[in-house]
């Protein structure tokens, strides 16, 4: 297929939160993208129920947060680590809390948003094969009318979830371990008998597994998560039965649940795996296609959406010829360690939630440690995404270097992040047209160069020379 005409610039496989965010980023940068989604219609089911502060900041950066907040159910004032509260107030952020919103509503916004940019989401289209050559990729796609179609593009991104076909086609290894713990997630309707929770709780764990984790989703529907010894004996591929859910709904803490209906239910595990490489030539992976882990602390969707914000502008720069392919190498270099960190912290949480007297003692000890400000800041930084710091080779040291740019509201009210460009002409030189994100805001630095994903890639006094290396590295050679 070398030399064949391109149908589009980037094929995004998977219309979950990761793929839809990525396609939005590409569209904003003027790159043509097509999203392939095998489900003919949105299921309306939600695994995730939250946005972490860093995801909220990034959506806000693009002016996409407000419509998402319009669809949210609540805010949750803290984060948590295995149910131990984490204080997000210690961060300089406009969003020191979790946004309580079902995943389906986030996806609904992201897909509607793509329509505004004329990005096609081809539903009922399943990727069945993917080949690459020196010039591009060729996707084989099963279409709803039963025919097979071939699509040609410069790059493909696998945002096609845990069992990613793209990952397999690109021969990218997915090392890690299978699940040891099996649990059930269910959305259920309960009779309103005056005992049901009205606030979103943090999960609580005790030594004998006698907690009931019920999250009110409105209209009598509750999110119910349960595990326990019986679940470990069951076939992980067997459908969840209503009897199983009913049996798990034991009264606890004054709540007496009476089951009316199971809306949907599925099993999940604490399997932990991560793609060895996030890039193989012209094929990249993002979201669950690149990493799976125990959903403790509410991080998976957030990690995937943040992968997309890291990859989108880089891919757009390369596709449009503004930057060389080496910019794409930084995607793996930056996001693989962040993903590995989430696998690590969720494995640790998986240990801490075991119903066992000794583990309970360990939990109490960890809870005591997390009450210390420095420990809270470190762990809250991991779970919220606010603690991410990317290596910025070649840039002079600075407290802000590699960290997220603290928020500054744009004067036109269309987004938050940075003041309008105010860097002196001689500092940016020929990059001026490309670099829209420079601020001399109240950051303690005289000048800050910020990448399109909101991370500081150079900071320092203008008198100390131009940030030429950083400009070349992140914004390409003019």
Residues contacting residue 258 through CB under 8 Å, at least 6 positions apart: 190, 191, 193
Distances, alpha carbon 276 to alpha carbons 127, 153, 171, 175, 300, in Å = 22, 24, 10, 7, 18
Determine, following the binding rule CB under 6 A, whether residue 345 of this chain makes contact with ligand FAD: no
What are the phi and psi torsion angles at 188 (to 5°)? -130, 155
Of positions 14, 83, 406, 467, contacts ligand FAD by CB under 6 A: 14
Residue positions counted in the chain = 478
Among 96, 100, 300, 467, binds ligand FAD (CB under 6 A): 300
What are 137's two structure tokens? 């990729």
Decide: is 60 part of the binding site for ligand FAD (CB under 6 A).
Answer: no
Q: Pattern of binders to ligand FAD over 96-115, x per CB under 6 A?
A: -------x------------
Determine, following the binding rule CB under 6 A, whether residue 15 of this chain makes contact with ligand FAD.
Answer: yes
Q: How far is the C-alpha of 151 from the C-alpha of 130, rounded, in Å?
A: 10
Give the contacts of 332 (CB within 8 A, at least 6 positions apart): 277, 278, 279
91 is written with which tokens? Answer: 């961060």
The tokens for 159 are 């945002």
Q: Is 83 in the site for ligand FAD (CB under 6 A)?
A: no
Q: Which is closer to ligand FAD, CB of 224 or CB of 390?
A: 224
Residues that contact ligand FAD, how many (by CB under 6 A): 33
C-alpha pair distances (Å), 141 with each of 24, 30, 34, 158, 166: 22, 25, 12, 14, 12
- Residue 450's contacts (CB-CB under 8 Å, 6 or more residues apart) are 405, 417, 418, 437, 438, 439, 456, 457
Beta strand 8-13 with 33-37 is parallel
In whole angstroms, give the CA distance from residue 364 to residue 181. Answer: 22
Nearer Cβ to ligand FAD (232/365): 232
Is 349 a binder of ligand FAD (CB under 6 A)? no
**Spatial contact of 348 and 378, defined as CB atoms under 8 Å apart:** no
- Non-local (6+) Cβ contacts of 132 within 8 A are 138, 156, 170, 281, 282, 283
Of 8, 93, 113, 302, the one binding ligand FAD by CB under 6 A: 302
Under rule CB under 6 A, residue 49 binds ligand FAD: yes
Q: How far is the CB of 353 from ligand FAD (least distance, A)?
A: 14
**Binding status of residue 13 toward ligand FAD by CB under 6 A:** yes
Of the candidate residues 8, 11, 12, 17, the single one contacting ligand FAD (CB under 6 A): 17
Min dist CB 399 to ligand FAD, Å, is 29
Contact segment (CB under 6 A) with ligand FAD among 64-72, 251-259, 294-302, 382-390 equals: 294-302
* Candidate residues 127, 323, 343, 417; the one interacting with ligand FAD per rule CB under 6 A: 127
Binding characters for ligand FAD, 188-217, by CB under 6 A (x = yes): ------------------------------
The torsion of the CA quartet 283, 343, 102, 386, rounded to 10 degrees, works out to -90
Closest CA to 438 of 475, 465, 476: 475
Q: How far is the CB of 307 from ligand FAD (least distance, A)?
A: 8
Residue 299 in contact with ligand FAD, rule: CB under 6 A: yes
In a 13 Å sphere around the CA of 316, the CA atoms on its Cβ side amount to: 22
Rank residues 151 and 185 by Cβ distance to ligand FAD and give the closer one: 185
Among 187, 288, 334, 453, binds ligand FAD (CB under 6 A): 288
Q: Is 304 in the site for ligand FAD (CB under 6 A)?
A: yes
How do beta strands 79-81 and 84-86 pair?
Answer: antiparallel
Alpha helices in 221-356 (DSSP H): 229-233, 242-248, 300-319, 326-352
- Smallest gap from residue 73 Cβ to ligand FAD (A): 12
Q: Give the x-and-dash track for 163-192 against ligand FAD (CB under 6 A).
A: --x-------------------x-------
Tell me whether residue 21 or residue 330 sits nearer to ligand FAD (CB atom): 21
Q: What is the DSSP string of 424-478?
A: -HHHHGGGTTT---EE--SSSSSEEEE-TTSBEEEEE-GGG---HHHHHHHH---
Residue 76: CB minimum distance to ligand FAD, A:
10
Judged by CB under 6 A, the residue of 26, 48, 383, 441 near ligand FAD is 48
Q: Which is nearer to ligand FAD, 257 or 298 (CB)?
A: 298
For residue 15, the minimal CB distance to ligand FAD (Å) is 5
Cα separation, 113 vs 136, whole angstroms: 27
Least Cβ distance, residue 211 to ligand FAD (angstroms) = 16
What does the per-residue mask of binding to ligand FAD show for 234-253, with x meaning CB under 6 A? --------------------
Q: Is 160 in the site for ligand FAD (CB under 6 A)?
A: yes
Minimum CB separation of residue 122 from ligand FAD in Å reads: 9
Instruction: Quote the CA–CA distance of 316 and 294 in Å, as a whole number.
Output: 32
Give residues in contact with ligand FAD (CB under 6 A): 13-19, 36-39, 47-50, 103, 126-127, 159-161, 165, 185, 268, 287-288, 295, 298-302, 304
């Amino acid at each position: 297929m070398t030399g064949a005409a391109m149908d589009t610039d980037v094929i995004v496989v998977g219309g979950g939160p990761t793929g839809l965010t990525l396609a939005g980023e590409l569209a904003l940068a003027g790159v043509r993208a097509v999203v392939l989604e095998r489900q003919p219609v949105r299921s309306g089911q939600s695994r995730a129920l939250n946005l972490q502060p860093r995801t909220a900041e990034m959506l806000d950066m693009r002016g996409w947060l407000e419509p998402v907040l319009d669809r949210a159910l609540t805010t949750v004032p803290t984060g948590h680590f295995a149910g131990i509260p984490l204080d997000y107030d210690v961060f300089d952020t406009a969003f020191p809390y979790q946004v309580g919103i079902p995943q389906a509503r986030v996806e609904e916004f992201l897909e509607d948003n793509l329509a505004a940019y004329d990005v096609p989401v081809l539903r009922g289209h399943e990727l069945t094969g993917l080949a690459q050559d020196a010039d591009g990729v060729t996707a084989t796609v099963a279409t709803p009318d039963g025919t097979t179609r071939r699509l040609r593009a410069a790059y493909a991104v696998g945002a096609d979830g845990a069992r990613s076909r793209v990952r397999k086609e690109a021969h990218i290894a997915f090392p890690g371990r299978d699940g040891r713990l099996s649990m059930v997630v269910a959305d259920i309707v309960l009779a309103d008998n005056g005992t049901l929770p009205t606030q979103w709780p943090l999960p609580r764990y005790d030594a004998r597994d006698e907690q009931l984790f019920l999250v009110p989703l409105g209209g009598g529907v509750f999110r119910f998560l349960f595990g326990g010894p019986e679940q470990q004996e069951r076939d992980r591929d067997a459908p969840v039965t209503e009897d199983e859910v009913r049996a798990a709904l034991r009264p606890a803490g004054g709540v007496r649940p009476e089951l009316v209906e199971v809306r949907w239910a599925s099993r999940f595990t604490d399997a932990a795996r991560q793609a060895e490489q996030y890039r193989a030539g012209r094929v990249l992976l993002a979201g669950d296609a690149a990493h799976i882990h125990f959903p403790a602390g509410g991080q998976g969707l957030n990690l995937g959406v943040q992968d997309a914000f890291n990859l989108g502008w880089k891919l757009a720069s390369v596709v449009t010829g503004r930057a060389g392919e080496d910019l794409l190498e930084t995607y793996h270099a930056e996001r693989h360690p962040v993903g590995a960190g989430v696998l690590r912290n969720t494995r640790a949480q998986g240990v801490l939630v075991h119903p066992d007297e000794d583990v309970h003692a360990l939990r109490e000890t960890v809870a005591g440690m997390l009450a210390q400000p420095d420990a809270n800041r470190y762990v809250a930084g991991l779970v919220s995404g606010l603690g991410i710091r990317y290596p910025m080779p070649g840039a002079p040291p600075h407290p802000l270097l590699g960290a997220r740019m603290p928020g500054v509201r744009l004067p036109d009210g269309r987004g938050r992040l940075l003041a309008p460009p105010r860097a002196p002409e001689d500092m940016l030189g020929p990059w001026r047209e490309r670099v829209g994100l420079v601020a001399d805001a109240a950051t303690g630095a005289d000048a800050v160069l910020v990448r399109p994903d909101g991370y500081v890639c150079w900071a320092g006094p203008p008198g100390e020379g131009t940030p030429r290396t950083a400009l070349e590295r992140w914004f390409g050679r003019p």
